[in-house]
Structure 1
Amino acid sequence: MEMERSYPALESLSICKMPNLEEWNVPDSVESFPCLKYLRIEGCPKLTKLPFVPSLKEFTLHYNNVTLLGSIMFLTLETLHIWDLPIRTLPKLLDNPSTLKTLGLHGCANLESVDEGLQYLNCLGHLQIMWCDSITSFPIAILENLSSLTSLGFQFCEKLNPLSGPLRSGVVSERLNIGFCPELKHLPESVQKLSCLKELTIHHCEGLRSLPDWLGSLQSLRELWIGECPDLEKRCQKPNGEDWLTISHIPIILINWKIVQNLDI
């Protein structure tokens, strides 16, 4: 694909389902996309390199060649969504994008580890991992290096036991969402060191049968959402559920999307 002109006003571009596209070339003397902020590339498995996009803010990569990640310039990038890439680990090329604030990993069936790729994302505020069936653990110690992280979510990761291992110090995460993780049997003890946690959502985790007593010491917690966890739902019923005293200090509690308690009214 050859481009010989500039598109000075173009802010959003999608290139989708071009399985034979191998090159995207622009003349070296032309800054073709000076204002391009949003770029989506989907279904272009032969494309391996991007032109220079100096103002790129959000990039979505869906079912493409993994080497395409290596051509991203992270000078201004704030949001990156990776879909259906055959990666086993998060590439080290993500080590130094100091501007990255949101990262989504979706449907990467071979992804086993994200440890190294996350450790230098100091500005990352939101992390979502979904439909990554090969990942088995997410050591909570990773969060010690993510000093700006406020929102963390794990969903549809069948083998994942999230937030495993010890944590040396508290982290600033305010929202934690765990869903569709059938291997989760216990809420990890390390969660109690999320000293700024305000919202906890647990849904479709049928193996989780009770809440730990230490949850009662998380005084920062303002909202608790529980859905489609049959045993947990029974234990958290107000006022006689076995876990009710553990969670009764939380101002807003929803079970199966119905308000059980709202002390803010």
Structure 2
Amino acid sequence: MMGNLCSTLPNLVHVTLLRCGRCQQVPCFSQLPFLKRLTLVSLQSVEYMENSEPILSLSSKSPIMSSTLFFPSLQELTLIYMDNLKGWWKVGENADISTIESSYDRLLIQRLQSMSFSNLTKLRLDECPKLISLPECPNVEELTLVDTNETISVIKMATASPSTSKLASGSKLKRFTVSNLEDLISLPRECLHQLSSLDVWDKKLVNTEEIGKQVFMSMSSSLRSLSFTHCHSLRFFAQGLEHLTAIEGLVLWNCEQLHLSADEHIPWKYFKSLRSLQFHMIPKLLVLPSGLQHLTNLRSLEITNNDELMELPEWISCFSSLAYMYLRYCPKLTSLPEAFCNLTALNQLKIIKCPGLTGGCQGPKGSEWPKIQHIPLVQVLKDYGG
């Protein structure tokens, strides 16, 4: 449909294709010289991204490599809900060259296997269950692999040298979102040493014992941000956390079985560097864990969509550095502790969809207003619209 993009739209910088369910073949985006961001979402009929033939051109005597670069400017690649995507090319990525007789085919496959996203720094693969290979991404810094095929090799794809296809000592991976823990555990220790952000999306994860022993120890000085997202089976996450003494941000999001109050072994006292804490959709969160009193350097606290949270504790005044608090959809909260008056560093408070607090926190006549009137910016909304 789009023809030769190089001639018709040579200056494209950002391309997004969304919900083209019947589309079986996408244009050859790799030849666009200035393309920086490519996003494909819900192209369920696409099996391969490109035809391999344009990689080579034929002269009268022998095949000659095309001089056109492969994605010379691409920095961000996002593939989401590509249900039938198997690879970038139909042949070549996993072929055994020694078994191929045709010199043309051997050269073609050698050329394909040497291709890499040389400038790609951000790669997201989400819900691509049949994808088993991609060109290497030796310079990727931010990688997301959620519900992808377990056979795809994160080591080969994101930490390999384009010239030798062996592990590169200078891997640049810094941020990793992963749903298959084997992908995380398989990373070489030198890669773990430099990871600054980890987001775990494992629906089957029950506790952190395995990654605590094999992974967290290697991240003790590098990891700054840790998230557990949609870990529906997670019950305990204390194991191994004591190693993460440099962590600055912790997010727990949609963990249905997580019982924070009952897990007394969570090493909150080691998190002296923690600045940001978020509890989103934790159904078993009835009260805040008492161990949070150790977080004296906490500056941001977000508590959202926690249906059963009954109250905020009086010891909340321990958060002497807290500057921002966000409360959203906590329907059983009906009052704020008197200790709110002692949160002198708090300069922004947002309360949205908390019906038990809405009236009381709207000054100057609200019952809760004396506790929060010292806060410079207070936003209280019945809903997002006001």
Instruction: Tell me if both proteins adopt one fold, taking TM over 0.5 as the criterion.
Output: yes
Q: Distance in 1 between matches of 2:254 and 2:292?
A: 26
Task: Give ranges in structure 1 of 5+ residues lacking alignment.
Answer: 27-31, 259-265
2:283 counterpart residue number: 158
Q: Confirm or deny that 1:201 pairs with 2:318.
A: no
Task: Give ranges in structure 2 of 5+ residues lacking alignment.
Answer: 1-92, 95-111, 160-170
1:115 counterpart residue number: 238
2:229 counterpart residue number: 106
Specify the code of the residue in structure 2 equivalent to 1:81: D
For normalisation by structure 1, the TM-score amounts to: 0.82
Q: 1:44 aligns with which of 138, 145, 148?
A: 148
- The count of residues paired between Structure 1 and Structure 2 equals 250
Q: Distance in 2 between matches of 1:249 and 1:21?
A: 55
Q: CA deviation at 1:21?
A: 6.1
Q: 1:94 aligns with which of 199, 216, 219?
A: 216
Asked if 2 retains the 8 angstrom alpha-carbon contact of 1:6 and 1:33, the reply is: no
**Residue 67 to residue 196, structure 1, CA distance change in 2 (3 Å):** same
Higher RCO, 1 vs 2 (CA within 8 Å, ≥6 residues apart)? 1
**Residue 162 to residue 105, structure 1, CA distance change in 2 (3 Å):** farther
**Residue 232 to residue 134, structure 1, CA distance change in 2 (3 Å):** same
2:199 counterpart residue number: 81
Q: Deviations over 1:221-252 (max 9, x none)?
A: 11111111111112212111111111111111
Q: 2:180 aligns with which of 65, 78, 85?
A: 65
1:237 counterpart residue number: 362
Q: Distance in 2 between matches of 1:79 and 1:177?
A: 19
**Residue 48 to residue 145, structure 1, CA distance change in 2 (3 Å):** farther
Asked if 1 retains the 8 angstrom alpha-carbon contact of 2:306 and 2:329, the reply is: yes
Q: CA deviation at 1:149?
A: 1.6
Asked if 2 retains the 8 angstrom alpha-carbon contact of 1:65 and 1:85, the reply is: no
Q: Distance in 2 between matches of 1:6 and 1:109?
A: 38
Asked if 1 retains the 8 angstrom alpha-carbon contact of 2:353 and 2:382, the reply is: no
| Structure richer in helix, relative to its length | 2
Asked if 2 retains the 8 angstrom alpha-carbon contact of 1:222 and 1:251, the reply is: yes
Q: Distance in 1 between matches of 2:356 and 2:152?
A: 49
For the residue of structure 1 that corresponds to 2:252, the secondary structure is strand
Q: Distance in 2 between matches of 1:158 and 1:144?
A: 24
Q: CA deviation at 1:168?
A: 6.3
Identity of aligned residues (%): 26
Q: Distance in 2 between matches of 1:244 and 1:253?
A: 10
Q: Confirm or deny that 1:247 pairs with 2:357.
A: no
For the residue of structure 1 that corresponds to 2:154, the secondary structure is coil
2:173 counterpart residue number: 56
Q: Distance in 2 between matches of 1:82 and 1:102?
A: 11
Q: CA deviation at 1:257?
A: 7.7
For normalisation by structure 2, the TM-score amounts to: 0.58
Q: CA deviation at 1:45?
A: 4.8
Specify the code of the residue in structure 2 equivalent to 1:241: G
Q: Deviations over 1:13-37 (max 9, x none)?
A: 3445453567x799xxxxx654221
Q: Distance in 2 between matches of 1:122 and 1:34?
A: 29
Greater shift in the superposed pair: 133-142 or 80-89: 133-142
1:263 counterpart residue number: none
Asked if 2 retains the 8 angstrom alpha-carbon contact of 1:20 and 1:46, the reply is: no
Q: Distance in 2 between matches of 1:77 and 1:170?
A: 23
**Residue 10 to residue 48, structure 1, CA distance change in 2 (3 Å):** closer
Q: Distance in 2 between matches of 1:77 and 1:175?
A: 23
Q: Confirm or deny that 1:216 pairs with 2:341.
A: yes
Q: Distance in 2 between matches of 1:105 and 1:168?
A: 22
1:19 counterpart residue number: 129
